[in-house]
Amino acid sequence: MTRFSFLVALFITTFAFGQPNARTTPKIDRWSAAKANAWYAKEPFLVGANYTPAYAINELEMFQADTFDPKAIDNELAMAESIGMNTMRVFLHDLLWQDAAGFTKRLDQFLAICARHKIRPMLVLFDSCWDPLPKLGKQHEPTPGIHNSGWLQSPGADALSDVSQYPRLEEYVKGVVGAFKNDTRILAWDTWNEPDNANDNSYGQNHTIKTELPKERKVAIVTRLLPHVFQWAREAGATQPLTSGVWVYRNPEDWGDPGKQTPIEKVQFDNSDIITFHQYLSPADLEKVIPVLQKMGRPVICTEYMARGVNSKFQTHLPIAKKAKVGMINWGFVAGKTQTFLPWDSWQKPYVNGREPAVWFHEVFKQDGKTPYDPAETAAIKQATGK
């Protein structure tokens, strides 16, 4: 039996019966709360953005050999440094590992640029959001008028539903984490972004073009797979903390009650070294949820916020978070091919003929990469970071 065939058999056994077998390595526990808090005590007030260069429509275009642009990244991260940002959340993709040596080299270049600008990124391994059919190679141009029209899930639906591909996913996680396991330029690893997101209004059940897996099936698969992803990263020797952020909004007290957590939220909370969450809601809602999450006794970081159209803003949210020492990472930095200055509902109501919303949804800087969307916002970021 080849090593690949053996790994496939292993995964079928593990996922079919939910029990470890003789090959399974001993489970590596997550950090203790004391270790996590000691790590966080050394960090500044973390402020940054979910970062994709303006030239890239998605994770592949950011990092593939033909399109990777260190100069553009350097120019944009210089702007981030100028307003005091000290972290970025950056999405990777499992398909990039098909060029493992090249991708590792380019990621190292990216980290060197970040370090030059005093920015330590959080790297995201997997993502359940947007297009479930990723492909390497030239990426399509943005669909006019639509928010995130080319963003890709990792793994895609085919890999997610095909257990024979799980050894490849394990190899990717262990490979990329192992290559940078002791790298102090990396703040943390986010194992899976919004793992239970079924993209209802874009590629899923509420949209005219349905390419998503059935919702219940997708969530069930990821719920089983996510603990393994945490374990793979730990087996790879990660010295940085691991996390996966909760995001479904309801009564914030539910997150603090294990009896009301969903199965996938329980996996996230039980495996994360540090607690992360998304919050595209009002300042009052932010003030409600922070104490709930802090009762878990671990560092808390908000890894997505700032959508002007739903009252999630820099000027209101940063002072609340700074007082509680909750790191804040907004969505978007420079307006570009992701088009996330357009709102989520542009999937139903596209902004045609170059029309822009009266109020931008995300992004800090305009398309020229240097003009703030609103100077009052960059002033608020500078004030929060002490720049």
Position 5 scores a pLDDT of: 46
This prediction's pTM: 0.94
Residue pair 257/269 in contact (Cβ under 8 Å)? The answer is no
Question: pLDDT digit string (tens) for 204-253?
Answer: 999 988 999 999 999 999 999 999 999 999 999 999 999 999 998 778 88
Return the pLDDT at 18: 42
> Is the per-residue pLDDT at 79 higher than 80?
yes
Are 110 and 73 in contact by the 8 Å Cβ rule? The answer is: yes
Q: How far apart are the C-alpha atoms of 28 and 270, rounded to whole Å?
A: 13
- Residue 190 near residue 243 (C-beta atoms within 8 A): yes
Helix (H) or strand (E) holding 41: helix 33-41
The mean pLDDT of 22-43, rounded to a whole number, is 85
Per residue in 91-105, pLDDT (tens digit) is 999 999 999 999 999
Alpha-carbon distance of 19 to 314, in angstroms, equals: 46
CATH superfamily of 45-385: Glycosidases (3.20.20.80)
Q: Band the pLDDT of 25: cuts 50, 70, 90.
A: low
**Mean pLDDT to the nearest integer, 341-351:** 97
Greatest Cα-to-Cα distance within the chain, rounded to the nearest angstrom = 63
Domains in the chain: boundaries: 45-385
pLDDT digits (tens, 9 = 90+) for 285-336: 999 999 999 999 999 999 999 999 999 999 999 999 999 999 999 999 999 9
DSSP of 284-326, one letter per residue? Answer: HHHHHHHHHHHTTSS-EEEEE--BGGGTB-HHHHHHHHHHHT-
User: Would you say 372 and 364 are in contact if contact means Cβ atoms under 8 Å apart?
Assistant: yes
Percent of the chain, pLDDT > 70? 93
- Assess whether pLDDT exceeds 90 at residue 153: yes
Q: What is the mean pLDDT of the chain?
A: 93
pLDDT higher than 70, residue 1: no
